[in-house]
Chains A and B, each alone.
Chain A
Amino acid sequence: MNEATLEIPYEIPEGARNPVEPFLRMDRMPHIWCAGCGIGTTVNCFTRALLDSKANLDKVAIVSGIGCTGRVAGYARLDSFHTTHGRAIPFATGLKLANPELQVVVYSGDGDLFAIGGNHFIHAARRNMDLKVICVNNMIYAMTGGQTAPTTPATAITATSPYGVSEPTFNLVALAEAAGASYVARWTTYHVKQLARSMEEVLKKKGFCFIEVISPCPTLYQRRNKMGDGLDAMKDYKAKSKVRNGAPTGECTLSKTGEIVVGKFVDRERPDYLELLKAQMIESLGDRYVEPEEACCSEC
């Protein structure tokens, strides 16, 4: 079956193209994500947010770690960097400090950001680095074969816990708020419009912003736990999610079958790292302080 045999009962306007295509390296398609995986949906939302926020695409950089979500940096036709495991935030911090004009987006998974790179995350949030962190939480280490992650909810069956997970799980939004993030939100891949709006907000906001996106993992998480495929997970999100904007993040712990509290939890103003650094330098050096040279040439 090819495109020519697909019957379309009406005309498609000439020149119409998928709004996501200008943002993707189309020579790399089809991507490696499984059927029913939600990462592609979050990429759609991100491209809509880039379009709506009218961001200068030459000044947007994506940094990813390792994992399924780490592939986003490879597929996005933006300045992008696919870093070592867990070190997306340190690379992004360096990128931001060397070129403060850049809008640096860290796009990575839960295992990369909170297990291997957990320490980096809390310190970037504490310093209020001007990074936009998008964490696609599929509740498992998916690329390596479905091992227990810090976000795997209790009683779930994984490759390394065949009798069920006994550990308590990380509440990512509470962690981000406690560490000092300026903006904290959680959505699922079912909430595409809200997610796109949230991403647009963080692209316009200064400071450390964190968005958690709950995403299905049909191949490893749902299959082992007999929770159906990607579509069943999406229906589940629709049925169990409850929008509670401004809810106390401590009460928003995720469980295997319980309610999924979504919404924008925190939106506050804090001085960011570069402002604090400059203020401290001016205070100690006084007249001797000079502005650092721009890392970029005048043409770019």
Chain B
Amino acid sequence: MAKGFVAITAERCKGCGFCVEFCPTRVLALSSAFNSKGYHPPHIVSAEKCSGCDLCGMYCPDFAIFGGRYAR
């Protein structure tokens, strides 16, 4: 069971890849799908690894992703 979650607003993404590169547990990868502006937003490849640290949210220059921890 994952400790945290990430939520992605694909339409706001510009595909810079910061979240994919700097995710400490490698939860994300850039998807091959396009959003309406023609960028590749990230998608979740290993959800169970997410620690909910929100580092992706801090790096995202487009405010398109954020993470959080589940309440216990």
CB of A135 closer than 8 Å to a CB of B: no
**Which chain B residues border A235 with CB–CB below 8 Å?**
21
Residues on B with beta carbons closer than 8 Å to the beta carbon of A38: 61
CB neighbours of B21 from chain A (8 A): 231, 234-235
Cβ-defined contact, B9 with A3, below 8 A: yes
Q: Which of B7, B55, B68, B71 contacts A8 (CB 8 A)?
A: B7
A230 and B20 alpha carbons, distance in the complex (Å): 13
Which of chain A's residues have a CB closer than 8 A to the CB of B11? 1-3
A1 touches B5 (CB 8 A): no
Given contacts A9-B47, A10-B2, A192-B58, contact A18 B66 (CB under 8 A): yes
Please tell me if B16 contacts chain A, counting CB pairs below 8 Å: yes
- Give A29 to B63 CA distance when docked, in angstroms: 9
Which B residues are within 8 Å of any A CB, using their own CB?
Answer: 2, 5, 7-12, 14-18, 21-22, 33-36, 39, 41, 43-44, 47, 54-55, 57-63, 65-66, 68, 70-71
- Complex CA gap A29/B64 in Å reads 10
A271 within 8 A of B: no
- A-B contact list, 24 entries, CB within 8 Å: A1-B41, A2-B36, A6-B8, A6-B10, A7-B44, A9-B44, A10-B5, A12-B7, A16-B5, A16-B66, A18-B57, A18-B66, A19-B54, A31-B62, A35-B15, A35-B16, A36-B16, A36-B18, A40-B63, A44-B57, A193-B58, A196-B58, A230-B16, A230-B18
Does A39 lie at the interface of the complex (its beta carbon under 8 Å from any beta carbon of B)?
Answer: yes
A234 touches B18 (CB 8 A): yes
A1:B16 contact, CB within 8 angstroms: no
The complex places the Cα of A7 from the Cα of B6 at a distance, in Å, of: 12
- Which residue from chain A places its CB closest to the CB of B54 in the assembled complex? A19
Q: Which of B10, B16, B58 contacts A2 (CB 8 A)?
A: B10
Cβ–Cβ < 8 Å partners of B22 in chain A? 190, 234
The distance from the CB of B62 to the nearest CB of chain A, in whole angstroms, is 6
Residues 18-45 of A contacting B (Cβ, < 8 Å): 18-21, 24, 29-31, 33-41, 43-45
Partner of B5, one of A12, A18, A43: A12
| B33 lies within 8 A of A19 (CB) | no
Q: How far is the CB of A68 from chain B (nearest CB, A)?
A: 11
Contact with B along A174-199 (1 / 0, CB 8 A): 00000000000000001011001000
CA distance A151 to B17 in the complex (A): 27
Query: Is the C-beta of A48 less than 8 angstroms from some C-beta in chain B?
Result: yes
CB distance from B58 to the nearest CB of A (A): 4
Residue A267, interface by CB 8 Å = no
How long is the Cα–Cα vector from A30 to B15 in the complex, in angstroms?
A: 13
Residues of chain A whose beta carbon lies under 8 Å from any beta carbon of chain B: 1-3, 6-13, 16-21, 24, 29-31, 33-41, 43-45, 48, 190, 192-193, 196, 229-231, 234-235
Distance from A191 Cβ to chain B, minimum over Cβ atoms (Å): 10
Please name 16 further chain A to chain B contacts, defined as beta carbons within 8 Å, in addition to the given A3-B10, A230-B61, sorted by A numbering: A6-B10, A7-B44, A10-B47, A13-B68, A16-B5, A16-B66, A16-B68, A18-B7, A19-B66, A33-B62, A36-B16, A36-B61, A40-B60, A41-B59, A231-B16, A235-B21
**Chain B residues in 8 Å Cβ range of A31:** 62
Closest-CB distance, B18 to chain A (whole angstroms): 6
Contacts of B14 in A (CB 8 A): 30, 34-36
